[in-house]
Amino acid sequence: MRISIYTGHLQEWQGSVLIVGLVEENLDSQLVELDKRFDGNISKGLNRQDFKAKESQVAVFELLQGEPSKLIFIGMGETQKIEIDNIYNFAAIGARKSLGSQGKLGISIPEISIDSAITTKAIGEAFRLATFKDQRFKGKSEPVPSIDALEILNLNESADRFIEQINPICSGVELARELVGAPPNSLTPSSLASIATDISKQHGLEVKILNQKECKARKMGAFLAVAQGSDLEPKFIHLIYKGKGPLKRKVALIGKGLTFDSGGYNLKVGASQIDLMKFDMGGSAAVIGTARAIAELSPEGIEVHFIVATCENMINGSAVHPGDIITASNGKTIEINNTDAEGRLTLADALVYACALKPDEIVDLATLTGACVVALGTEIAGLWTDSAQLAYSLEQAAEQAGEGIWRMPMRNSYKEGLKSMLADIKNTGPRPGGSITAALFLKEFVDQSIPWAHIDIAGTVWAEKERGVDPAGATGYGVRTLINWITNSYSK
Ligand code: BES
Ligand code: MN
Ligand code: ZN
């Protein structure tokens, strides 16, 4: 799909489908040009459908003669309330409503206060992301209707500033969705490692993959304890991006990579959604998707480390027992009082590894706790960090991406709940505040001189129904936020 800016008049625009965004104020005056072109029938038709341009209100007109053959009107609510998120939603509705149409599409948006290049980027991303369909596992795939070109109307010429970034960003998000959507008999720790290797080769990243023996040599006892009940070998993945120019910033991204989480001997039973636990590698998918995008976007002056300790949490005769005491790579001993709190064990060794690289900042993403889903639902991820600066830069990055995030308290007194009688720490605390103790557990493995943030994506990794730019299923949450966070420059 080619995306460009059309600077001519709405009246003269040629193409097969025209999508028009409208705001509530002065509806008639927004329709003057189109009414001229269609003999006054637009306002009449919209009136008949009681169209008031309320947010997400839609009116579709199919025309029997000539082009455009379809007009799609979408309400955007009050001008003042329009944020990036609303642009993503508006364009996603337009994309879905025009699905199946061929040829050239036009999309016109009312005057708003958001930068025109940012608006263009959001519209372009929304078109590709909202119409994504994963057909890899169908015996026979349906033909996917394709849109040749998308023209964005009503914006100034500098609106094309970010157009080239749209496809690399969307490829990263789609990769993350495909990784998460793949079933656990297809996406295994080894296959994830080989996909990461392929990406590094195709896009010029450095790659290191550690096998079980190499992880053992590095004393990654926490990560390996989780993996030991599975027939599949764990893999430790490390990709490196080195941008051109003098180095200004070095960061590490870590993603939880459980290709399946059965819970272990604390087996997931009842309503714990064991059948969905293929998505427990959503953090790693976001990190690898971001690696692909960053390699293509090639921002200067930055070095990024992408780190994933991937394995399965399964049950066999060698699996960890609830009650086992193990030792992480920083020498801390952990009493595993619950084998289902496995993500934090894998992350513990990944955090120790990342700190040894001495980055300026570390961010981890993980489908870590059901408690986070209870607290924030499925549209908002939880953010834990002691650094106000890092919190701010991540919040900004998420807002620009139209991805929900909310900072949660890192209350140190709750560490009391992780006290172990025998070991240095237990892996789980009491049920109340379960996402907070999870974050506090991770903090034990972070060098306190390095600003670090933890993002719990347990709710946002998966959508029951399509919403906004997300299809039903894997959302690819986090890729766009991380790309923004890496490419935005913040003074530290
Ligand atoms: N992968 C799960 C978290 C999860 C649960 C993600 C539901 C998405 C939906 C994680 O490994 C886990 O099992 N966490 C436990 C922690 C508990 C044992 C302290 C949980 O949330 O129940
Ligand atoms: Mn678990
Ligand atoms: Zn898990």
Which stretches of 227-386 are assigned E, i.e. beta strand? Answer: 235-242, 249-261, 302-313, 325-327, 333-335, 361-366, 380-385
Q: Which residues surround the ion ligand 2 when the cut-off is CB under 5 Å?
A: 261, 340, 342
Question: Looking at the CA of 263, which ligand is closest?
Answer: 2
Question: Looking at the CA of 262, which ligand is closest?
Answer: 2
Instruction: Tell which one of 281, 364, 369 to mutate to probe ligand 1, the residue whose CB is within 8 A of the most ligand atoms.
Output: 369
Structure token pair of residue 144: 């996917």
Ligand 1, CB within 6 Å, residue ranges = 261, 273, 280, 338, 340-343, 367-371, 373, 428, 434, 458
Which numbered atom of ligand 1 lies nearest the CA of 429?
Answer: 19
pLDDT of 490 above 70: no
The predicted-structure confidence for 260-315, as pLDDT tens digits, reads as follows 999 999 999 999 999 999 999 999 999 999 999 999 999 999 999 999 999 999 99
Please name the residue whose Cα sits nearest to atom 16 of ligand 1.
Answer: 341
- Name the DSSP class of 300: S
The predicted-structure confidence for 177-218, as pLDDT tens digits, reads as follows 999 999 999 999 999 999 999 999 999 999 999 999 999 999
Q: Which domains does the chain have, with CATH numbers?
A: 2-160 (3.40.220.10), 168-491 (3.40.630.10)
Which numbered atom of ligand 1 lies nearest the CA of 438?
Answer: 19
pLDDT band per the 50, 70, 90 thresholds, residue 145:
confident
Amino acid at 67: E
Question: Looking at the CA of 367, which ligand is closest?
Answer: 1
Omega of the bond prior to 68 within 30 degrees of 0, cis? yes
Tell me which residues are annotated as active site: 268, 344
Q: How far is the CA of 188 from the centre of ligand 3 (A)?
A: 15
3-state secondary structure of 381: strand
Cα–Cα distance, 320 to 339 (Å, whole number): 7
Which numbered atom of ligand 1 lies nearest the CA of 263?
Answer: 13
